Amino acid sequence: MPKKRDAKKINFTSIAEVPTMPMSLGSMLWNKTGTWRNIRPEIKLEDCIQCGICWKFCPDMSILIENEWPVVDYDFCKGCGICAEECPAKCIVMVEERK
Partner 1 sequence: MSKEKKMKLSLPTEELVGSGNLACQGCGATLAMRYFLKALGPKTVLCIPACCWSVIDGPYPYSCLGVPVHHSAFETAASTATGVKAGLQMTGDNETTVVAWGGDGGTFDIGLQALSGAAERNDDIIYVCYDNEAYMNTGIQRSSATPLGAWTTTTPVKFFKDQPKKDIDAIMAAHRIPYQATASISYPEDVYKKAKKAKDVKGTRFLHIYAPCPTGWKSRPEDTIKLGRMVVQNCIFPLFEVEHGEKYTLTMKPANKKPIDDYLKLQGRFRHLKPETIKVMQEAVDHEWTRLLKLCENR
Q: With binding defined as CB under 8 A, does residue 96 bind partner 1?
A: no
Provide the 3-class DSSP secondary structure of residue 21: coil
Q: How far is the CB of 86 from partner 1 (least distance, A)?
A: 5
Give the span between the Cα atoms of 72 and 11, in whole angstroms: 30
Separation of CA 64 from chain center? 8
Pick the closer one to partner 1 by CB: 59 or 99: 59
Strand partners, 88: none
Provide the 3-class DSSP secondary structure of residue 63: strand
Site string for partner 1, 70-89 (x = CB under 8 A): ---x-xx-xxxxx-xxx---
Q: With binding defined as CB under 8 A, does residue 36 bind partner 1?
A: yes
In 3D space, the residue among 98, 86, 96, 29 whose CA is nearest the CA of residue 60 turns out to be 29
Q: Considering only residues 44-63, where is the footprint of partner 1 by CB under 8 A? A: 45-46, 50, 52, 55-57, 59-62
Max distance between CA atoms of the chain, in angstroms, equals: 56
Q: Which residues bind partner 1 (CB under 8 A)?
A: 5, 7, 10, 19, 22-33, 36, 45-46, 50, 52, 55-57, 59-62, 65, 68-69, 73, 75-76, 78-82, 84-86
